[in-house]
Amino acid sequence: MAMAQRVENVDTLDELDVFTSQEANNLAQQLESSDNEDTRVLIEHDGEWPGAATIADVVHGTLRLHPLCNVVRFTPHFQRLDRLRQLGVAYSVFPSATHTRLTHSLGVSHLCFELLRKLRDSQRGQLELEERDIRNVALAGLCHDLGHGPLSHVFEREFLRRSGISNWEHEDMSLEMFKDMVDSNGIEGVDQEDFRFIENMIKGVKPEMRAKWPAGKRFLFDIVSNDYTGVDMDRADYLQRDALMCGRFRLNCNFQDLLSYARVVDDQICYPTWQLHNVWFVYSERVRMFREVYTHRRTKAAELMAVDALMMANQALHFSNRIASPKEYLTLNDELFSMIEHYHITHNEAFRRLGGAEQRRLAEAQQVLGRIHRGALYDCCGECEVPERMLLDGTWDKLCKEFRDDVVASYDAQLLPTDIMLDLNQIDYGKGGVDPMAKVGFYKGDGDGLVKVPADLEQLRGCERPSCFKTRTLRVFVRQPGQRRAASAAFQEWCRRRLGSDVRVDTEMLDEREDPRRSYGVASAAATGCLGKRIAQRSAADPRRWEAAAAASPLSPQPVTPASKKCKTTEAANNSATVDVEL
């Protein structure tokens, strides 16, 4: 497409405060050389927002970015997100789920920008909303995921933890990357006060800490990462984008309505009372996405395999040392897996200098990645949901400490702790497992007469709301199909003894003639009732044999490197899906 058709009012670029003449020329050259019609940029000049860019998007139709966000979009730090899949290895189960953190971040920035513009227009004279506020919120939405690593959340929650690094959070690295991006690219107009504001937007501000911020501006922390109600623009984009790209289903909630009718009342973003059901569906649809997509058993199996491959390869390549420096971290993305697979070809000289043990570890990692490509995923051979009564009375809080590899493996003499992988998957409707609707603000009235009211939960009686707003699902995986029967039996016996004989345990006994690469379903618990007979005849296991095998395993946690000790400790809480896997 010709430059004249793709960029309108190019002459106005010289008049923009946020662009230097060199930046304008560089941007124009990049736009001219771009062949991607889905990301074409049209420079607008509407008087109030000169230089705002519009980008074609598969979810929102047209994205509108603040001018400064459009400058940030072309930095290496942000472009790195184009090499990070939003859902990690979920593409092995949902082939179309190859969208990236870059498109998600663009969508979040757009939604922040649009929400604030609508609030300003609908409540003129009521809000102390400055252009700088809109710019900073849009910038925080754009940069909130700069710190994600390969495999996204799995990188920090599983790979780094299994490597012995537990004090690292991607939100902290997002801030370090943002600082380095501003300094390295000479981005002007972001001072220390702006950075402090953006930092709290990305990390979230706890309700009790909001009083430290000026009255009339506290609602801004509801937008990017809402630590109170959980309804924010990050969630609004990823739920819509992930559902669409996975081809799974249409969401029952309408985010466009929430944005259109949102109002600020008592320094909190609130919604009209007649949007009650729509707000509830935001929570219920998120839970459904976690159950059917994010924690799908085969998605989880692929993630466990990818982490195993990283654990093995890290012993040879030591890429976990790159997490302490933003400039080194800039080199970590999903291309890491391709490098591992072809390291002996693309880095032949470096490969030859590796020791024999390191070369073997790299070869083992390549074999695991090859299995993912062939669809020969680890087997999920047992699944059980913790009864609600145990979640409500606190019994599970004590029992969960016994859900360990060594304890489960002890119920079958054929198993070692390293033969199985346990997955504790927790999904909460709201933070802390409480009813999230109790925290959402609603309003009545119009114009200057808006009145904040609590949610009338009686109207949701027909929505099949749960009595417990959190779920805990236990799973056991095995690396080799031959260990499947023993693992199933041990898992079922552990569940029977800890959770009660009446608890349902879904297992599937695989016929030896069946192809282990196929997608496994869920068999009824009645079909596995005879498993206890095998367990009753088991011999006593030798703990020393397990310890020796675990010490020799390439998947055992590695010593913390000096670089990892430099990482900043945070206390960020996670209220979505958390996975505990101990090897």
Residues 6+ apart with CB under 8 A from 168: 156, 160, 323, 564, 567, 568
312 and 340 housed in the same domain: yes
Domain annotation covers residue 307: yes
Going by pLDDT thresholds of 50, 70 and 90, the confidence category of residue 272 is very high
Domain annotation covers residue 464: no
58 and 4 housed in the same domain: no
313 and 220 housed in the same domain: no
- Greater confidence (20 vs 582) lies with 20
Give pLDDT, residue 51. 65
Domain annotation covers residue 445: no
Q: Report pLDDT digits (tens) over 535-569.
A: 333 434 444 444 454 455 555 555 444 444 344 33
Residues 6+ apart with CB under 8 A from 364: 312, 554
Backbone angles phi, psi at 43, to 5 degrees: -80, 120
Residue 44: give the domain boundaries.
1-48
209 and 300 housed in the same domain: no
Q: Report pLDDT digits (tens) over 410-450.
A: 999 889 999 999 999 999 998 888 899 999 999 998 877 78
CA-based angle 497:498:503, to the nearest 5? 80
341 and 412 housed in the same domain: no
Q: What is the mean pLDDT of residues 343-367?
A: 94
135 and 220 housed in the same domain: yes
Residue 29 has which token pair? 């050259």
Q: Is the pLDDT of residue 468 over 80?
A: yes
CA-based angle 157:159:162, to the nearest 5? 95
DSSP secondary structure, 180-210, as one string: HHHHHTT--S--HHHHHHHHHHHH---GGGG
Query: Which of 271, 294, 317 marks a domain boundary?
Result: 294
Among 63-77, 442-456, 531-545, top mean pLDDT goes to 63-77
Domain annotation covers residue 497: yes
Going by pLDDT thresholds of 50, 70 and 90, the confidence category of residue 469 is very high
C-alpha closest to that of 39 among 73, 81, 11 = 73
Q: Report pLDDT digits (tens) over 96-146.
A: 999 999 999 999 999 999 999 999 999 988 898 888 999 999 999 999 999
Query: 2-6, 286-290, 381-385, 404-408: which has the minimum mean pLDDT?
Result: 2-6
Residues 6+ apart with CB under 8 A from 561: 318, 320, 321
pLDDT > 70 fraction of the chain, expressed in percent and rounded: 78
The pTM of the full predicted model, rounded to 2 decimals, is 0.80
Domain annotation covers residue 455: no
Query: Which of 375, 397, 412 marks a domain boundary?
Result: 375
Going by pLDDT thresholds of 50, 70 and 90, the confidence category of residue 147 is very high
8 and 43 housed in the same domain: yes
Going by pLDDT thresholds of 50, 70 and 90, the confidence category of residue 512 is very low
Q: What is the mean pLDDT of residues 255-282?
A: 94
Q: Report pLDDT digits (tens) over 152-179.
A: 889 999 999 999 998 899 999 999 999 9
Query: 41-50, 127-136, 483-492: which has the minimum mean pLDDT?
Result: 41-50
Give pLDDT, residue 354. 92
Going by pLDDT thresholds of 50, 70 and 90, the confidence category of residue 48 is low
Give pLDDT, residue 539. 37
Q: Is the pLDDT of residue 516 over 70?
A: no
11 and 73 housed in the same domain: no
Give pLDDT, residue 309. 96
Query: Which of 335, 358, 375 marks a domain boundary?
Result: 375
Domain annotation covers residue 449: no
DSSP secondary structure, 89-149, as one string: GGGGTSTT---BHHHHHHHHHHHHHHHHHHHHHHTTTT----HHHHHHHHHHHHHTTTT--
Domain annotation covers residue 444: no
Residue 232 has which token pair? 């924010």
11 and 155 housed in the same domain: no
31 and 118 housed in the same domain: no
Domain annotation covers residue 457: no
281 and 315 housed in the same domain: no
Mean pLDDT across the chain, nearest whole number? 81
Give pLDDT, residue 534. 36
pLDDT > 90 fraction of the chain, expressed in percent and rounded: 60
Name the domain count of the chain: 4
182 and 290 housed in the same domain: yes
Q: In angstroms, what is the C-alpha Rg of the chain?
A: 26
